[in-house]
Chains A and B, each alone.
Chain A
Amino acid sequence: MNPASRFARAAASAAGDAELAAILRRNLATYDQAVAAGRGRFLDWEAARRRAQAVKRDAIAHLDRYLEEFERRITARGAVVHWAADAAAARAVILALAARHGVRQVVKSKSMVSEEIHLREAFEQAGIAALETDLGEYIVQLRNEPPYHIVTPAMHLRREHIAALFHQRLGTPASETSPEALVRAARREMRQRFVSAGMGVTGANFLIADHGLVAITENEGNARLCYSLPPVQVVLTGIEKLLPRLDDLALFWPLLATAGTGQPITCYSSLLGGPRRENEPDGPRELHIVLLDNGRSRVLADAAQRELLHCIRCGACLNACPVFQTVGGHAYATTYPGPIGAALTPLLRGPAYDHLAYATSLCGACAEVCPVRIEIHHQLLRDRGHAAAARRRGWSERLEIAALAWAAARPRRFERAGRWARALLRRRPDAVDGTRLDLLRPWTRYRQAPPPPPQAFREWWRRRAAGPAAPPPEKNA
């Protein structure tokens, strides 16, 4: 099945799932409440967004310089920076490192870029066990599923689902369904794996150019364990994560936390400057940073879509989107779901994902909540235009557009054609209904078109101008 039909089928199935809808609704209600309170802590949320947008615009416009500055500074402290033009190169670099160190076990903290390059599958094929240690990611890994949401991977599950999963896979008592007990069980299960892992893999939320630092944001402490215990650490991240200055984090840390979860700042905001130093008791002997392009420079090349690279992956646009709320995260079958994913995926993966330009109501809720003010709905509308231009039109559509163009060319002609159409529809309401001539077919398949009005707006307007108190044309009269 092609991605478009798969999406349509998965979306229809999710949209009819009342239990799922209830889970998502509850989850999002909690989120909305927390974010409203979080935004209230900003003196001026809108000013903060505008400043963040300006900072990202600067970072992206000078991306080459900032990347080189970042590389120079962190390399000076003993880290190794690798560049990867595509997913295959990034996998090759990381697998070569694992092979060189004889790594059998890897602990991973949350990284959407690792999902993008299918790193866990690549490890598994190489005979290396890779464990997702973020609780949500751990749960979906046990279920053999991709994450449901950028920030909340197990958003689609209730505690009973997780309890049943843990009972089956970890042997916990089936009756233990309290979140506290489930968190304890997962923590116990993963502790030994942290200690014995030969490699820790993390993502990066930001790369800081002026001091050469990797910034990682989290709440659980699993990323901290991933960069503290294993002897080799790999940071896998996209080239767009740059911020010019360390000082910028005074804005971006609270902004990301607020938009992501409503927290004033996440529990652990870490900065890594290099591998373990001589006088330090622990930390990785080697720190490798993999900078991934994988289509990002292509997005960068188009001035109109460049701002998509400003995204800080907070997930706010997913939560605000009526389409995401209805079809959920898995229906998209993309690494990045929701509005930002719908806008980015066709650019990163090609025209097989053009249908995602239609996975939007273009309402703009995504742009309104975006902490870096990306106009996501405009991007989607543009993508839709590209998709429509690239599509081959059928004979009926071409005929109708030609007829419309002919009719609309002159006002008299337009009026007369409208009269004919209304007369036809009054006599034979189902004349075009459901046929190839029906322009509104995707809509009328599920709904009945309203009967045509007795007179056109233009006729009513003329009569109103002539006599004083003509009533407006009755809708559906």
Chain B
Amino acid sequence: MSRREYETRAAVHPARERERVLDAIRAALRPRPEAPAAAAAPADALCALPAPGDAALRRFLAECAANCTEVILVRSPAEADTALAQILAPVEGGFYAQDAPELRRLLAPWAGRTLWSNAGACDAERAAGLTLAEALIAQTGSIVVSAACGGRAGSVLPDLHIVVARASQLAPSLAATLSALGPAFERASMACVITGPSRTADIEKLLVLGAHGPRRLVLLLRLDA
């Protein structure tokens, strides 16, 4: 393409352009082709679903192990405190956390180092981001977060993303999760299905963790009610 072409059409009339594109599409689809609305894919299109209950948790843990999510099972608030202390002990720098009662309680010892999501946005200096989750997916070993989990950057900008969730949030399939996720967009502008820490294979197809997002993804999974 010649350099000159970049400069053409300095102004675009929005309404006219919209009609131009839509008219072209409508004309192209006359007569309307036969294409009945396809049925939604069954939940187990991807792969066999875990049985309810204990099997779902086992499947989730196996998928997480495969996608490099570190899962720590905790059975009481005290165990959660201990586990978090162990993860955070070697971390230098400040934290960013979703403003939620459970995280307020867990992070009480580090309150001075923590920026809460109601006080501002996560910045590039934060060493760790702590959020809750919207849901967990057994089928793929995924963690679903949304903008309601302390905004957008808190779960992707820091080197370490720590998620605190409960086993009761475990959904069997991606399909079940998506069906439940639709209404969430009326209260949050973004949702993300996270499946393991950030990665790239752009150099010789070799896997490297921590491309632009977190190098480590840790899930504190509470088994108590």
Contact = CB atoms under 8 A, between A and B. Distances in A.
Contact of B33 (A212, A251, A306): A306
A135 B178 CA distance: 29
Contacts of A154: 202-203
Interface size bracket, B side: 35 or more
Q: Could you tell me the dominant secondary structure of chain B's interface residues?
A: loop
Given A42-B45, A82-B14, A83-B22, A221 B35 contact: no
A174 interface: no
A383 interface: no
Nearest to A154: B202
A246 interface: yes
A64 B22 contact: yes
Interface in A266-300: 266-277, 280-283, 291, 293, 297-298, 300
Given A63-B29, A92-B12, A222 B211 contact: yes
A135 B48 contact: no
B29 A300 contact: yes
A190 interface: yes
A139 interface: yes
Contacts of B202: 134-136, 139, 152-154
A301 B26 CA distance: 9
B181 A224 contact: no
A158 interface: yes
Contacts of A246: 178-179, 181-182
Given A133-B212, A250-B173, A162 B195 contact: no
Contacts of A121: 3, 6
Nearest to A249: B178
A182 B203 contact: yes
B190 interface: yes
A58 B36 contact: yes
A79 to B, nearest CB: 9
Interface string B81-101: 000000000000000000000
Contacts of A60: 35
B40 A220 contact: no
Interface string B1-37: 1010111111110100110111011111100111111
B50 interface: no
B211 A219 contact: yes
Contacts of A118: 1, 6
Contacts of A261: 201
A271 B37 CA distance: 23
Nearest to B36: A58
Interface in A297-320: 297-298, 300-301, 303, 306
Contacts of B39: 51
B22 to A, nearest CB: 6
Interface in B110-143: 117-118, 120-124, 140, 142
B189 A272 contact: yes
Interface in B181-203: 181-182, 185, 187-203
Interface in A135-173: 135-136, 139, 152-154, 157-159, 162
Interface stretch (A25-33, A408-416, A437-445): A25-33
Contacts of A219: 198-201, 211
Contacts of B211: 135, 183, 187, 219-222
Contact of A272 (B181, B190, B194): B190
10 contacts: A51-B41, A54-B38, A88-B5, A92-B12, A96-B12, A228-B157, A281-B122, A283-B190, A293-B24, A300-B29
List the 4 shortest-distance A-B pairs measured between CB atoms, nearest first.
Answer: A221-B213, A61-B35, A273-B185, A251-B41
